[in-house]
Amino acid sequence: GQQVMQIPQYQHVQEGEDFTTYCNSSTTLSNIQWYKQRPGGHPVFLIQLVKSGEVKKQKRLTFQFGEAKKNSSLHITATQTTDVGTYFCAGREDYKLSFGAGTTVTVRA
Amino acid sequence: ETGVTQTPRHLVMGMTNKKSLKCEQHLGHNAMYWYKQSAKKPLELMFVYSLEERVENNSVPSRFSPECPNSSHLFLHLHTLQPEDSALYLCASSQEVLAEGINEQFFGPGTRLTVL
């Protein structure tokens, strides 16, 4: 079955620095979604990417979908304390959304 | 508030108890989902309902029994659970199971379940 791998599992970032989290699927995806879960909270939708090679930006967050539609990345610039949480990618194949294990981000002020 | 509510927020139960988790969505969506979130593991899809019909049972043990009486309500009935079933159970809804365009899932706050 479809598997979605996410790395790194943990990311400790100095405030102001940039970082990237990566997502890889074992199968070709129809689209990929990204969610953020704050500590003690629930996943909240951030964005959906559909097209091969698509790039979308939300302020300091840049999302990319690979040309083969099997991988994706989230890049955050100038990390702030409000960025703490776990970022999940979720790959869609048919009606099933398979979540990666997430990248948990902590920020050092 | 995402428009998806779950009760109770916390539940402690013994292995011989029977309990139910409730989810309600106020978004007019047609699809509802149950997920299990354990520490350090990916979100595991358990059940998918589309217009009250179950379209997915992801090899979930029979001690978990879902019920969807209408498109706004979803229940998860629990009986004779094991300690390894302790987790955060998340309910989610989306416009459709399959949809053109953005088909994001809206999650409820979850029920933190502890099985003793």
* Per-residue pLDDT tens over the stretch A7-61: 999 999 999 999 999 999 999 999 999 999 999 999 999 999 999 999 999 999 9
Residues of B in contact with A98 (CB under 8 A): 42, 45
Q: Which residues contact B92 (CB under 8 A, 6 or more apart)?
A: B4, B32, B33, B35, B105, B106, B107, B108
Chain B neighbors of A48, CB-CB under 8 A = 102-104
Q: Decide if A28 contacts A17 (C-beta within 8 A).
A: no
pLDDT band, very low/low/confident/very high, at B1 (cuts 50, 70, 90): low
Mean pLDDT, residues B29-43: 90
How many angstroms separate the CA atoms of A49 and B103, rounded? 11
Sole residue written with tokens 């951030």 = A46
How distant, in Å, are the alpha carbons of A19, A51, B55, B98, B112 from that of B101?
29, 11, 21, 10, 32
B40 to chain A, any CB pair closer than 8 A? The answer is yes
B contact test, residue of A3, A44, A63, A95 with most B CBs within 10 A: A95
Q: Is B23 on the interface with A (CB under 8 A)?
A: no
A10 touches B at CB < 8 Å: no
Q: Per the structure block, which two tokens stand in for A73?
A: 């990345």
Tally of CB atoms within 10 A around B70: 9
